Amino acid sequence: MRRGPIITVLVAAALVAVVAWRGLGTGAPDAPAAPARERMVGEAGRGEVTVALRDAQAPVAIIEARVPGRPIVLIDPGHGGRDPGTVVPGGLKEKDLTLATAQELRERLAEAGRVRVALTRPGDATLSLEQRAAVARAIGAALYVSIHMDSAPNPQATGVTVYSLADVASTEEAARLVRAERERVGQVVTLEDNAVEGLLTDLALRDQMAASAAFARRFLRRAEGRVPLRPTPHQFADFVVLRRAQSPGVLVEAGYISNDADAARLGSKEGRAPLVEALALAIEADLASR
Point out which residues bind Zn ion (CB under 5 A). Answer: 78, 85, 148
| Residue 19, H or E segment | helix 3-20
Taking the least distance from each CB to Zn ion, the nearer of 50 and 259 is 259
Q: What are the residues whose beta carbons fall under 8 Å from the beta carbon of 82, sequence distance 6 or more?
A: 25, 27, 126, 188
Closest separation between CB of residue 79 and Zn ion, Å? 6
Q: How far apart are CA 132 and CA 165, in angstroms?
A: 16
**Of 80 and 85, CB closest to Zn ion:** 85
172 vs 202 by CB, closer to Zn ion: 172
DSSP-derived letter for residue 32 is P
Q: Report in angstroms how near the CB of residue 288 gets to Zn ion at its nearest.
A: 29
Q: Can you tell me the distance from the alpha carbon of 113 to that of 69, in angstroms, rounded to the nearest whole number?
A: 12
Give the contacts of 198 (CB within 8 A, at least 6 positions apart): 130, 133, 134, 137, 243, 244, 245, 246
Q: Residue number with the shortest CB distance to Zn ion?
A: 148
CB of 163 to Zn ion, least distance (A): 11
| Orientation angle between helical segments 269-288 and 202-223, nearest 10 degrees | 130
β-sheet bridge partners, residue 161: 253
Residue with smaller CB distance to Zn ion, 50 or 131: 131
* Distance in Å, CB of 184 to Zn ion, minimum: 8
Helices (H), 78-169: 94-112, 129-138
Least separation in angstroms between CB 76 and Zn ion:
11
Q: Nearest approach, Cβ of 183 to Zn ion (angstroms)? A: 12
Q: Rank residues 121 and 148 by Cβ distance to Zn ion and give the closer one.
A: 148
For Zn ion, which is the closer residue by CB, 2 or 82? 82
Counting Cβ atoms within 10 Å, is residue 219 exposed (0-12), middle (13-18) or buried (19+)? Answer: buried
Task: Report in angstroms how near the CB of residue 93 gets to Zn ion at its nearest.
Answer: 11
Kindly state the smallest distance separating residue 35's Cβ from Zn ion, in Å. Answer: 33
What is the Cα–Cα distance from 277 to 108, expressed in whole angstroms? Answer: 8
Q: What share of the chain is helix, strand, coil (3-state, %, to 5)?
A: 40, 20, 40
Shorter beta-carbon distance to Zn ion: residue 98 or 247: 98
Give whichever of 23 and 84 is closer to Zn ion, judged by the CB atom. 84
- What span, in angstroms and rounded, lies between the C-alpha atoms of 223 and 233? 10
- C-beta separation of 77 from 251 below 8 A: no
Quote the DSSP letter at residue 196: G
